[in-house]
Chain A
Amino acid sequence: MSGSEQESTHRTIERVARESYGRLVAYLSSQTRDVGSAEDALSNALVAALETWPRDGVPQNPEAWLLTTARRSFIDLVRHRQVAEASEPTLVLLREESKDMTLSPEFPDERLKLLFVCAHPAIDPAMHTPLMLQTVLGLDAARIAHAFLISPTTMGQRLVRAKTKIRDGGIRFEIPQERELPQRLDAVLEAIYAAFGIGWDDMAGVDQRGRDLAEEAIWLARVLLQLMPGEAEVHGLLALMLHCEARRAARRGPDGRYVPLSEQDCQKWSLSLN
C-alpha cells in the first residue's frame, strides 16, 4: 500500500472513530451500564483497525466491523475481571445479540440515554460535562483535565469514580419520564453549554485545545438536536452557540483585545455559521 493510501486509511479510521465513537460506547454500555469496559473494548477495536485496515483494506461497513470487534473484546474484558457470576446474564445477552448483528449492521442509537446518564442528578454536577466529553466524543482525560484546569490524574480518577457509580449505582440507561424530563434535559443542556463556555473563555484564541472544546460542544448539541428534534430548548442552545461561534474571528483585535459587537468587522463573521 502506498503512503498516500495509508494516509487515507488512517483518515478513514479517524473519521469513523469520531463519528461512531459515542454511538458504539452508548450501545455497548446501555445493556450493561459498564461505560468503562465499553470504552476499553472500543479502544481495543480501534487499535485492531489501525493494524488490519491498512493491510487488508477498509471493510465495507467500518462501524459494524468496529462493533463486532469491540463486542468480542468487551466479553473478554468482563470475563477477565472474573465477576462471571454476576455478569453471566450480560454475557449471554451480548452473545445472543451478536448473532443478530451479523445479519444487520444497524443498531439502535443509545447516545441520548448516555447523555442523560452522564447528567444524572446522582452524578456530581461538576462531572457531567467531563463525562459527556469522554463517553460521547471520546476525548481523553488529559485533554479534559487541561480544559478544566485540574491535573490529568485527578480528572482520570474522578471519571473512573463516576463510571463506577454508573455501573454499580443502579443508574439505568433510559429516557427520563415526562415529569422529570424538563429538569433532566436542563442538566444535559447545562453540561453542553459548560463545555462551550470553557472553549469560549479562551479569549486570546492562543489555545487550540480550548477552541476545540467549543467545537465539541456544538457537535454535542447537534447530536442532541438530531435525537430530540422537537425540543425548542435544544434548538435554542445550538442557535446561541452558533451565533457566538460565527463571530469568533472578529471578537479579538490583532492585539488580542476585546472588540465589542458594534465595532466588529462583519467581513470576519462566518456566513456559513450565521
Chain B
Amino acid sequence: MQFALLIFESPEAFAVRNADENDPYLGAWRAYYKALVEADIYVGGNPLQPPETGTTVRLKDGKRRVQDGPFADTKEQLGGFTILELPSLDAALEWAARCPAASIGAVEVRPVSPEYKGRVTG
C-alpha cells in the first residue's frame, strides 16, 4: 500500500533551501532520496514552496474568501511530501524516522486512500 510522508519543517529548515550545496540538511536529503530509490519504494513527491507563498481559499455562503498564507499558522509548516510503496505502517514509520526532517521538524505518516480517489475520479 502507499503511504504519504508529510514533511513538516521549521522556518530554519525552510531557510536552508537558499543555503549552498554543502549544507548538511540538504546533504541528508540527497542521501535519503537515494536510499528511497535504491530500496525501490519511491513513488513520487515534491518539496513545496515556503508557507508564506501559500494562499488559502474557502467558500462561505457562496462567496470566495481568499486568505494570504497557509491554512494553520503554526511554527512547523508542511514543506513537502513523499509517496512511498510499503507493506505496512511499521515500515512507513521506519522510513519516516530516517527522514532528515524527523530530527528537526516532524513527519506525519498517512496512508494514501486509493478507493476514495477511485470514487472521485472514476
Report whether chain A binds chain B. Answer: yes
Contact residues of A with B, CB < 8 Å? 83, 85-86, 120-122, 168-172, 174, 176, 180
CB of B70 within 8 Å of the partner chain: no
Number of A-B contacts (CB under 8 A): 32
Q: For the complex, would chain A's binding face be called helix, strand, loop or mixed by DSSP majority? A: loop
Task: Identify 27 residue pairs between A and B in the complex whose beta-carbon atoms are under 8 Å apart, listed by A's number.
Answer: A85-B115, A85-B118, A86-B114, A86-B115, A122-B89, A122-B93, A168-B111, A168-B113, A169-B89, A169-B111, A170-B1, A170-B3, A170-B86, A170-B88, A170-B89, A170-B92, A170-B111, A171-B88, A171-B89, A171-B90, A172-B87, A172-B88, A172-B89, A172-B90, A174-B88, A174-B90, A180-B90
* Chain B residues with CB under 8 A of A174: 88, 90
Q: Which residues of B sit under 8 angstroms from A122, Cβ to Cβ?
A: 89, 93
A contact residues around B114 at 8 Å (CB): 86
Interface residues of B in 27-56 (CB under 8 A from A): none
Closest to A122 in B: B89
Residues of B within 8 A of A170 (CB): 1, 3, 86, 88-89, 92, 111
Q: Which residues does B use to contact A, with CB under 8 Å?
A: 1, 3, 86-90, 92-93, 111, 113-115, 118
Contacts of A83 in B (CB 8 A): 115
Complex-state Cα separation, A174 to B87, whole angstroms = 12
Cα A150 to Cα B86 with chains together (Å): 37
Q: Which residues of A contact B86 (CB under 8 A)?
A: 170
A230 to B118 CA separation, bound complex (whole angstroms) = 47
Shortest CB-to-CB span from A171 to chain B, Å, is: 5
Q: CA–CA, A176 to B90, complex, Å?
A: 9
Q: Cβ of B88: which chain A residues have Cβ within 8 Å of it?
A: 170-172, 174
B96 to chain A minimum Cβ distance, whole angstroms, is 11
Contacts of A168 in B (CB 8 A): 111, 113
- Minimum distance in angstroms from A81 CB to a CB of chain B: 11
**Nearest-Cβ distance from residue A114 to partner chain B, whole angstroms:** 15
CA distance A85 to B114 in the complex (A): 10
- List A contacts of B3 (CB < 8 A): 170
User: In the bound complex, how far is the Cα of B92 from the Cα of A170, in angstroms?
Assistant: 9
**A residues within 8 A CB of B90?**
171-172, 174, 176, 180
- Complex contacts, A169 vs chain B, CB 8 Å: 89, 111
CA distance A122 to B114 in the complex (A): 21
- A-B pairs, top 6 by smallest CB distance, nearest first, are A86-B115, A170-B89, A172-B88, A170-B111, A171-B89, A169-B89
Q: Counting chain B CB atoms within 10 Å of each CB, which of A168, A169, A170 scores highest?
A: A170
Q: How far is the CB of B29 from chain A (nearest CB, A)?
A: 24
A99 to B34, CA, bound (A): 46
Residues of B within 8 A of A85 (CB): 115, 118
- Cα–Cα distance between A170 and B86 once the two chains are bound (Å): 9
How far, in whole Å, are A92 and B86 apart by their CA atoms in the complex?
23
In the assembled complex, the CB of A140 is this many whole angstroms from the nearest CB of chain B, namely 28
A76 to chain B, nearest CB (A): 19
Of all chain B residues, which has the CB nearest A177? B90
In whole angstroms, how far apart are the Cα atoms of A168 and B104 in the complex?
A: 28
Task: Give the distance in Å from the alpha carbon of A171 to the alpha carbon of B113 in the complex.
Answer: 14
Complex Cα spacing A63 to B106, Å = 47
What residues on A are CB-neighbors of B87 within 8 Å?
A: 172
CB distance from A235 to the nearest CB of B (A): 27
Task: For the complex, give the distance between the alpha carbons of A168 and B114 in Å.
Answer: 11
Closest residue on chain A to residue B88 by CB atoms = A172
A257 to chain B, nearest CB (A): 49
Q: Chain A CB within 10 Å — which of B1, B87, B89, B113 has the most?
A: B89
**C-alpha gap A174/B90 in the complex (Å):** 10
- Nearest A residue (CB) for B118: A85
Chain B residue with minimal CB distance to A180? B90
